[in-house]
Amino acid sequence: MKNRILLSAFGLLVLASCSQGPSVPFNPLGVTQWRAGEPEWFGQNVTVKVAPLFLSDSLADKALKAYTGSNKPTSLLKVDYDNTKTPDGEYHKAYAMNDFKAAKDYSKAETLTFQLYNDTTDTVKAALALMTGEPKEWQESTAFEVKPGWNTIIFDLKASTFKAERSGWASNLTLRNMNQLREVGLLIYPNQKITGTILSDAPVLKNAGEEK
């Protein structure tokens, strides 16, 4: 199943195949640069493993055979999680993190499109987080549904629907300090007692003024 969703998010996954003009410096962090988040980040952590997935792997073969779109992934990141021990009523999550090491200027970034493959029969949720600025600040998107199979997600990076500590975590903020982007994270919310895997392709970044 392929679902196209237009969402506001402040996560910025910068992978090797991102399409960027000269106004947005390219940070060549491919799928090999992502890592599992530390347990103390963002609350309880149900991450099992974060790693690139060879396209020759049986899961990659299964996912790519199920793909029906026009932008077939050429690289994949695999995020495994285990939420079976999470207490009822709590919202634990898995994290795939990418640290830029030095701040990058993405102030011209307008939309980010990427594709997620949910290898379960359950709908889960996902959000994106990013660290910007000096002083450093984490900003997070609202969570969105990731249904079984392929999901195409378009993030609007200019909308006023982000949240951070300064808003009391209400989703009514515009991204700030995108000229000092330091770290990004993909957050997976299983919201049920399951184990599972999410695959992510290499997202495509569009600058202001570029064709969507």
- What does each of the 212 residues of the chain score in pLDDT, given as a tens digit? 555 544 433 333 433 333 333 334 444 456 777 888 776 555 578 999 999 999 999 999 999 999 999 989 999 999 999 999 888 877 789 988 888 888 989 899 887 777 899 999 999 998 888 899 988 999 998 888 999 999 988 778 898 989 999 999 999 999 999 999 998 888 899 989 999 999 999 777 788 777 65
**How far, in Å, are 56, 187, 202 from residue 49 at the CA level?**
19, 13, 18
pTM, two decimals, is: 0.83
SS3 per-residue string spanning 181-192 = EEEEEEEEECCC
With respect to residue 188, please indicate whether it lies within any of the assigned structural domains: yes
| 205 domain residue, yes or no | no
Can you give the pLDDT at residue 169? 93
The residue segments making up the domain with residue 70 are: 3-107+114-124+132-200
Written as six digits, the tokens of 67 are: 């793909």
Considering its fold, how many domains does the chain have in total? 1
Q: Are 152 and 2 in contact (CB under 8 A)?
A: yes
Question: Which domain CATH number covers 70?
Answer: 2.60.120
Instruction: Give the separation between CA 84 and CA 125, rounded to whole angstroms.
Output: 16
Q: In 3D, which of 89, 72, 54, 62 has the Cα closest to residue 148?
A: 62
Residue labelled with tokens 């949240």: 163
